[in-house]
Chain A
Amino acid sequence: QLKLVESGGGVVQPGTSLRLSCAASGFSFGSFGIHWIRQAPGKGLEWVAVISDDGKIQYYADFVKGRFTLSRDNSKNTVHLQLASLRGDDTALYFCAKSRGYSYGSVFDHWGQGTLVIVSS
């Protein structure tokens, strides 16, 4: 059964860093791109970043502005999203999603349940 499990969220102070992880199982992990999408409390979905199936391509939303970094380890079926210089408006539930399609894909066909990041002093 295909599964995505996010971890690493928590309460952190502004300006600090956090590393989120997405552990996958039940599919050929190295053949699919992985996206991160976030949802602030009571708000809509916001695309954050994507890493391609081979890890060679990453794209980020404009609001990231060099603060977030994606990596993946296909031998461990895991993607990491390193968050740095965190701000209050980064507070959100962070989902990872498997995408369908060539390289980094375009259709988010399976989602994890999310990990909550709260940035507060």
Chain B
Amino acid sequence: DIQMTQSPASLSASIGDRVIITCQASQDIKFYLNWYQQKPGKAPTLLIYDASKLEAGVPSTFSGSGSGTHFTLTIASLRPEDIATYYCQQYENLFTFGQGTTLDLK
């Protein structure tokens, strides 16, 4: 099984900050990685697919990068509506989510 490890588990940041969340795979998953955002009481929504492709309608302040075992989700300038929990998900071998990174306001 492929394990996905996100860091940090939680993060406090200020409006306008650049935020970086990392996701490490236990083995090479090429670029087979997606990122999701989940707000409290809501279903997750897709942000980034295939490691770096921005989903339609997602603000360009979000970006993804990486390949192999190391991946990052970057928010270029934090906005209040970005406060949420973020999950990575691999699809190289079935499907596995990271444990999530909770982002809140400092």
Contacts and interface: CB of A to CB of B under 8 A. Distances in A.
Contacts of A37: 97
Given A106-B91, A107-B46, A109-B46, A44 B100 contact: yes
A54 B85 CA distance: 33
Contacts of B96: 47
Contacts of B22: none
A108 B35 CA distance: 10
B87 A107 contact: no
| Chain B interface residue number, banded | 20 to 34
A59 B44 contact: no
Interface string A17-32: 0000000000000000
Interface stretch (A70-78, A84-92, A111-119): A111-119
Interface string B91-103: 1001111111000
Interface in B19-51: 32, 34, 36, 38, 42-46, 49-50
Contacts of A108: 34, 36, 44, 46, 89
A113 B95 contact: no
A95 interface: yes
Nearest to A112: B43
Contact of B95 (A35, A109, A112): A35
B87 A44 contact: yes
Contact of A109 (B32, B55, B98): B55
B21 to A, nearest CB: 14
B81 interface: no
Nearest to A45: B97
Interface of A: 35, 37, 44-47, 50, 59, 61-62, 95, 100, 106-109, 111-114
Interface of B: 1, 32, 34, 36, 38, 42-46, 49-50, 55, 85, 87, 89, 91, 94-100
